[in-house]
Amino acid sequence: CHLIHYLRLSHHLIVLNYLICTFDKLKSVSSEDINITDAIFDGVEVRVFEPPAKRDERLKRSVVYIHGGGWALASARTSLYNNLCRIMAESLNAVVVSVEYRLVPEVCFPEQFHDAFRATKHFLQPDVLAEYSVDPSRIAISGDSAGGNLAAAVCQQLSKDEHLTIRPKLQALIYPVLQAFDFNTPSYQQNMNMPVLPRYVMINYWIDYFNGNYDLAHSLLINNHTALDVGQAVSFRGRLNWTSLLPSSFKKNYKPVIQTTGKAEIIQEIPALLDVRAVPLLAENETLQLQPKTYILTCENDVLRDDGVMYAKRLENAGVEVTLDHFDDCFHGCMIFTIWPTDFSAGIQTRNSYIKWLDENL
């Protein structure tokens, strides 16, 4: 993929996603237990998983799920996410709507956010919920990794929509990526070379999402974009002070990396670095107070661990009921790896804990 990108034969993410989808057959296979259909919600493709109606049951609960993949990879139709959503629908006896948002490089921010928001808002319309026999008071918004980012951003936007009559009861975020302000949190330092998602890969995902220049990667890595002399970042600094938001067990002996002088032109070139639709952790307290009851799953061996922990703390400080479900022996992305040949115990463990929380709270 890197050779193809270097030779400008195609975008390396297109090639990588092609390989993923080639080896992972895309099928819509319904069964006696779950009916799987593809639909269009306000111009956005979705896959809907519906369990059969029970004799004495009128309405079902529901989960809107947004898949991960760095805003650039995977699909609601790949077997890993197809399997996850089918099991969720079966275990919860719930209608699961999996959002097939457009990917980098076809589109960049804010289009992925717009797709996820439009599809979710469409589903929340009373006539659509009635079509799928969904209880309007029992809907969750959920996602993993970049999908967790989109789920959090969608929840924040929905909470500010005065015309919306139906709102989600819960949000459930799986090792979400929530900020591009500080790439030297303890988890970024501790796991900088951790397989699956090293720090430089996460930074490149952000650059791709914002359609930025790879030449900025080193400046982002050392936090030049949020140095003390970068005026645009000043008002956000208190919202992401990990020295006060993280417990000592996570801070360990790591020190903050705060540059005295940096490059304000980075924010001028990529203003989305401070756009809360892309970085939900930087939202103001007034928005956080409006968020629904929240579940956040984090893994120790993950650069994004502290993103989730800090968001949980900020939500708690804003008065939101939060469950932080932390796994000491798990890694980023593990929850979707539950089928052969990548059927890991970490995947089963985290998936069961996530579904258990949804079952008890939705």
> How is 287-351 classified by DSSP, letter by letter?
HHTTPPEEEEEEEEE-TTHHHHHHHHHHHHHTT--EEEEEEEEEETTGGG--STTS--HHHHHHH
For residue 212, how far is the Cα from the chain centroid? 20
Domains, the chain: 1-180+272-360 (3.40.50.1820)
Reply yes or no: is the peptide bond before residue 126 cis, omega within 30 of 0.
no
The pLDDT of residue 3 is above 50: no
Secondary structure of residue 259 in the 3-state scheme:
coil
Tokens of 3: 């050779």
Give the pLDDT band of residue 338 (cuts 50, 70, 90): confident
Please tell me the distance from the alpha carbon of residue 51 to that of residue 142, in angstroms, as a whole number. 19
Average pLDDT estimate for 162-169: 95
Helix ranges restricted to H, 38-193: 79-92, 111-123, 126-131, 146-159, 186-190
More confident site: 1 or 332: 332
Residue 104: which of 6, 211, 256, 216 has the closest Cα? 211
Q: Which residues are catalytic?
A: 145, 302, 332
Q: Which residue has the higher pLDDT, 117 or 32?
A: 117
Closest CA to 262 of 295, 310, 227: 227
User: Which residues make Cβ contacts (< 8 Å) with residue 50, sequence separation at least 6?
Assistant: 34, 35, 36, 37, 89, 95, 132
Unique residue bearing structure tokens 């893994």: 299
Strand duo 44-50 + 35-41: pairing: antiparallel
pTM: 0.92
- Which pLDDT score is estimated for 54? 79
Is it the case that residue 40 has pLDDT exceeding 80?
A: yes
pLDDT digits (tens, 9 = 90+) for 124-161: 999 999 999 999 999 999 999 999 999 999 999 999 99
**Alpha helices by DSSP H, 8-145:** 12-23, 79-92, 111-123, 126-131
Residue 53: helix, strand or coil by DSSP? Answer: coil
Instruction: Using a pLDDT cut of 70, give the percent of the chain over it.
Output: 90
pLDDT surpassing 90 at residue 342? no
Question: Among the listed ranges 163-172, 202-211, 282-291, 336-345, which one has the minimum average pLDDT value?
Answer: 336-345
Residue 346 CA, chain-centre distance (Å), reads 19
| Rounded-to-10 torsion of CA 111, 114, 116, 118 | -140
Bridge-based pairing of strands 293-301 and 322-331 is parallel
Contact 143, 151 (CB under 8 A): yes
